Amino acid sequence: MKRRLLLVSNSTLHGGGYLQHCQQNIQDFFGKDVKRILFVPYALHDRDAYTKTARDKFKTLGYEVDSVHETPDPVDAVRKAEGIFIGGGNTFRLLKALYDNKLVTEIRKRVLQDGIPYMGSSAGTNVSTISINTTNDMPIVYPPTFAAIGLVPFNINPHYLDADTFFSYKNPKSMLITQYHEESDTPCVLGLREGSMLLVEGNKATLLGSTKARLFQRGKQTTEYEPGSDLSFLLTDVQ
Amino acid sequence: MKRRLLLVSNSTLHGGGYLQHCQQNIQDFFGKDVKRILFVPYALHDRDAYTKTARDKFKTLGYEVDSVHETPDPVDAVRKAEGIFIGGGNTFRLLKALYDNKLVTEIRKRVLQDGIPYMGSSAGTNVSTISINTTNDMPIVYPPTFAAIGLVPFNINPHYLDADTFFSYKNPKSMLITQYHEESDTPCVLGLREGSMLLVEGNKATLLGSTKARLFQRGKQTTEYEPGSDLSFLLTDVQ
């Protein structure tokens, strides 16, 4: 499998600039061969403003950005893309727009079969997984399914936070994920704290960034992983 | 319209006992004529344990509890109910189970046409409104729609928290609700802080409890309301 993914927890870290904390990872990931990146701004309401933000940032890293919302034929834009970046915002809005524009299958094909690099941040990371069942976002619109692009066979919870820092002592995020695992046949959930990201190259997965990640598996104790950990075992169920 | 609703933000306040902070309101609401309350435990996974918790508490308040999950025919149980209480947990799980058991229309009929009292807490408050679009919960299962029982024509955000106490400075709950209002034709959202509840009697709505509520209206400034405030204007769009 040619798959290459950079799945980032969060776009902005502790008041730093947009994608600043992972800019070196972005350059390492897209490399010198990719010149133009197709941006998907669907997760935010103001797509023009969002595209400008992404375009300005990627310009400083040496990449041109085309936004899928500026093209007359989004499917064709995906077919011709050298690389894809889906930005954060509201995951429900993003997934619905991906289905409305018939991009889910097309992105899956390009990434898994053609091997073009896929970067996601926050909501863009959520939709790259098997489903959006573990998003933190508010369900402001109704997508046709919670099944997502399925580039990996597990779930990710971006912006993962430990109980003591979460907004309510009664609803730590670990408890919300536990609720998910009360349902039958739910996959693993990787809690990516802000500052961390997952690099997937073929069947190899590595935790990158500055913070640890916590893995939730149905019926098992949770496990903590340090940056640099090999998480390739998460990929073994891939279809 | 005969409608009588007690919509509570949260079941447990600051480490107090289950429904302790609103027990006087519960007795005032169900009164002396109601003897048995039909409990809906669908929002939690362990329905037996949840029913025991609710049954024990309501017993101390002078009410017997029948749980809808213990009856062979949930629709018939709703048809015969003197009063209904839907407890908190996961809103997606709750709404899906309500549809799976064909209870949405039946509860709506009993409350709006027959005037039986309806109490909701947290997720049980969410599903009483026009939709679950403003829940805080994780979408662990996929309900057939986000449209809910529709006992009131607006949305509620239970456990509403102000920006400075929310889990991330980038995602205050007010911003999440603003995202909702970026979508077209979205109704008002009443942010019910923990400790507050809404009493609806016919076309009169009153804020009760110990904390203020914040109202979000599309394209307008938010407004704060003190306990005791008359919020009847929220009901004017009811179908």
Which domains can be identified in chain B, with CATH numbers? Answer: 4-235 (3.40.50.880)
Residue A78 backbone class (left: φ over 0; alpha: ψ -120 to 50; beta: rest): alpha
Which structure tokens are listed for A48? 């023009």
Residues B6, B25 contacting (CB under 8 angstroms): yes
Residue B146's closest chain A neighbor by CA? A142
**In the annotation, is A137 catalytic?**
yes
What residues of chain B lie within 8 A of the CB of A159, using their CB?
Answer: 168, 171
What whole-number distance in Å separates Cα of residue B31 and Cα of residue B63? 10
Supply the DSSP string of B96-130, one letter for each residue.
HHHHHTT-HHHHHHHHHTS---EEEETHHHHTTSS
* Interchain contact, A176 vs B12, CB within 8 Å: no
What residues of chain A lie within 8 A of the CB of B134, using their CB?
Answer: 138, 140
Given this model, what pLDDT does residue A78 score?
A: 98
* Interchain contact, B138 vs A139, CB within 8 Å: no
Which structure tokens are listed for B77? 């149980």
C-beta contacts of A161-170 below 8 A and 24+ residues apart: A161/A193, A161/B167, A161/B168, A165/B167, A166/B167, A167/B161, A167/B165, A167/B166, A167/B167, A168/B159, A168/B161, A168/B194, A170/B10, A170/B12
- Residue in B121, B122, B131, B174 annotated catalytic: B122
Q: Is A155 helix (H, G, I), strand (E, B) or coil?
A: strand
Interchain CB contact of A45 with B (< 8 Å): yes
* Interchain contact, A137 vs B168, CB within 8 Å: no
Given this model, what pLDDT does residue B5 score?
A: 98
Bridge partners (DSSP) of residue A143 are: none
Given this model, what pLDDT does residue A174 score?
A: 80
Q: Which of residues 140-159 of A touch B (CB under 8 A)?
A: 140-142, 145-146, 159
Residue B14 backbone class (left: φ over 0; alpha: ψ -120 to 50; beta: rest): left
**How do residues A135-192 score in pLDDT, each as one tens digit?**
999 999 999 999 999 999 999 999 998 764 444 444 567 888 989 999 988 999 999 9
Q: Give the torsion sign (CA, A15, A16, A19, A24).
A: negative
| Nearest CB neighbour to B140, from listed A12, A142, A180 | A180
Per DSSP, A172 falls in state -
- Residue in A159, A181, A229, A232 annotated catalytic: A159
**How do residues A83-103 score in pLDDT, each as one tens digit?**
999 999 999 999 999 999 999
Q: What is the ipTM of this complex?
A: 0.92
- Residue in B66, B69, B159, B232 annotated catalytic: B159
Q: Give the torsion sign (CA, B29, B20, B37, B60).
A: negative
Q: Which residue type occupies B87?
A: G
Mean per-residue pLDDT of chain B:
93
What whole-number distance in Å separates Cα of residue B101 and Cα of residue B121? 20
What residues of chain B lie within 8 A of the CB of A90, using their CB?
Answer: 179
**How do residues A35-65 score in pLDDT, each as one tens digit?**
999 999 999 999 999 999 999 999 999 999 9
- Residue in A21, A121, A128, A137 annotated catalytic: A137
Per DSSP, B84 falls in state E
In which residue ranges of chain B is pLDDT below 70?
Answer: 163-172, 237-239
Given this model, what pLDDT does residue B184 score?
A: 84
Interchain CB contact of A196 with B (< 8 Å): no
Class of residue A31 by CB neighbours under 10 A (exposed 0-12, middle 13-18, buried 19+): exposed
Average pLDDT, integer, range A66-74: 98
* Interchain contact, A139 vs B159, CB within 8 Å: no
**How do residues A122-131 score in pLDDT, each as one tens digit?**
999 999 999 9
Which structure tokens are listed for B139? 């979408």
What whole-number distance in Å separates Cα of residue A42 and Cα of residue A121? 13
**How do residues B54-93 score in pLDDT, each as one tens digit?**
999 999 999 999 999 999 999 999 999 999 999 999 999 9
Largest CA distance in chain A: 49
Q: pLDDT confidence of A239, banded at 50, 70, 90?
A: very low
Residues in chain B: 239
Residues B120, B127 contacting (CB under 8 angstroms): yes
Compute and round to an integer the Cα radius of gyration of chain A.
Answer: 17
Mean per-residue pLDDT of chain A:
93
Residue B191, H or E segment: strand B189-193
